[in-house]
Amino acid sequence: MQWKLDNNAPLYLQIADKVKLGIVSGEYAPGKRIDSVRDLAEQTGVNPNTMQRALSRLEDEGLLSTNRTNGKYVTEDTELINQIKDELAKKYVENFLASMKQMGFSGNIILALVQHEVGKGENANVYTGM
């Protein structure tokens, strides 16, 4: 996992979001043990307390669980993982649409742009503005 963090949002929230994305994308498989707090903190270049705060947030959401002697594990609840994946997808689409509409694009043009990008040239004539 690539740890690209910026100073525009709290680090623990950025870390929690990146680990969550790793879980819903399958990078961290259900039931898999994740690296220790100390190892993850070292990988990201943050204080272990910051990493612990991020992982605790994911535990509160049910995505991680702690086995007292063996570390932290990704939930095996694939229904929860899929639910969170759907919620993230909806949030990304809503943000994308809001940005496109703010730039003045209509729904039809946005749809044509997306179809073009998905098709990578298959529907090159859908949007003639490119």
Under the banding of pLDDT at 50, 70 and 90, the label for residue 125 is low
pLDDT of 32-45, one tens digit each?
Answer: 999 999 999 999 99
Q: Calculate the average pLDDT of the chain.
A: 89
What share of the chain has pLDDT > 70, as a percent? Answer: 91
DSSP-assigned states of every residue in 12-56:
HHHHHHHHHHHHHHTSS-TTPBPPPHHHHHHHHTS-HHHHHHHHH
The more confidently predicted of residues 126 and 73 is: 73
* Backbone conformation region of residue 84, classed left if phi is above 0, alpha if psi is from -120 to 50, else beta: alpha
Does the structure show a pLDDT above 60 at 124? Answer: no
pLDDT band, very low/low/confident/very high, at 68 (cuts 50, 70, 90) = confident
Torsion of CA 10, 92, 23, 15, to 10 degrees: -10
